[in-house]
Structure 1
Amino acid sequence: MENKIGRVITIKIIDENDKYVFGQHDGETYRLAKEELRSIPKMGANVSGFAYENDKHQLQITKTIPKIGIGKYAFCDVVAVRKNLGVFVDIGLPNKDIVVSCDELPELTHLWPKKNDRLLIGLKVDHKGRLWGDLATEEMFRAISVKADAKLRNKDVTGTVYRLKMVGSYVLTNDYQLGFIHNTERDQEPRLGEVVNARVIGVREDGTMNLSLRPRAYEAISDDAQMLIAALQHNNGHLPYTDKSSPAEIKAYFGISKGQFKRAVGHLMKAGLVQQIDGELRLNEA
């Protein structure tokens, strides 16, 4: 069975019932759902399909060949999690989800993939003839990746976390660039298989991107501070107001108290977005 499961085989039709036709290959009987067939094959005819053991532990073939196989890898969606076994992944079989064993997953279960996360996997068969998902290796990710352009700095990218380390998380973007999120550039560690939106904070010489899950400075500031940024952008980057301006002037122009204004200016200065010079609040150049 080890040489047949997970591969395309040809069976010789020997029987049928209401739902299936049955065929043999090397002395073993496989079923094929009639709903997959345009016409019912004659007895003795040969039919090819992908061989697997269905969820009732019956040998079966399907004409719908999965996008992954033994030595063939692709991204597949996680559909369920079982703590004592691993995660179940949909590879396109009609009545069978494939398990990625807990032995291949992070030691901390809260970092396991959740439903709708995605994993780059192939297939493997164990010594008992059981089909399992096989996580792609670091070398495989590097082989399919392309170098990132330095122009991507400060751009947003979307990618899938494929490797977890103490120092940080490794990501493959939707455009197949490699990225790394240092543990200082995230508030919490993303899961294996989690799809993340990140900001490019640097591009290394080898084309790998340094990424951050933290918001940009202007995204992390208060509503008052964002209002000040908008006002500056609409006034060529400078306004005749500082923390020395009177409460009445600030209230009349911005509609906030001087205390709110000072806190907002302080946040913006700390973020390196503005400065106060010659009685003006000025927007720093990017």
Structure 2
Amino acid sequence: MANSKIRVGEYNTLRVARTFDFGMYLGEDKDVVLLPKRFVPHGVKVGDVLKVFVYHDSEDRLIATTQRPKGIVGDIVKLPVVSVTKQGAFMDWGLMKDLFVPKSKQLMGMRVGGEYIVKIYLDEMTGRVAASEKIEPFLSNEELTVKEQDAVDLLVYRRTDIGYVVIINNRHTGVLHFNDIYQEITEGDQLKGYIKNIRENNKIDVGTGKMGYQRVEDEAGKVMRLLQENNGYLPYNDKSNPEEIYSFFGMSKKTFKMTTGNLYKNRKIVFTQTGIKLAGV
């Protein structure tokens, strides 16, 4: 399938070409892939279009599945190892066939039960999907594809003295500083964030969630909901301990003050000596 339009290791949107007792063939003319019967959604017929993931099964046959893997080709993800052989390790990525990590693509050797951050790639020699623990060659900040204030996907890579190194959009690296962290995080966590600052030599600082008043707008809904769930009153204000605010609202004290200030200006809440309450309550 050298000239095939079907992309291995990715999601494909394909039309049902033929149907059999054992499943359906998806695609066009001879450029088709089998969707086994166990993965065929109820009521699907010839001519319908399906979104499927394509990979090689345990018998090395190219097949489609409606299952959703934990990552596709190009993704960097944290996955658990379920078995180890002399040739390499196998990771659970959410499909019936486990994801192979060749021994040459491991750093210190993998063990069953361990979780490792890997890059999913398509092996040029075999055409099969595999993974590599050696992800540094895939990351570069030389030519950036992001700019300040862009919304990005983050993967927590490793802890440092100033914060966490994060992988940005599976391409670049940046730093999430400790004073910008308002939740419990660990290596391998996937987060939504934004580009906070691009410094000299394309060094990137990131934040989690959304920027500025976009975040305030989101958090305002949370504060209003919590007020309604607590009879219109909450014993928190700008004199409250930051840890108490984070524990209850899941936001920093700075964000809490911006959010409640915005709600006050819009006459949604009023401040009291001991907390905040819904306007008119």
Q: TM-score, normalised by structure 1?
A: 0.45
Larger radius of gyration: 1
| TM-score normalised over the length of structure 2 | 0.46
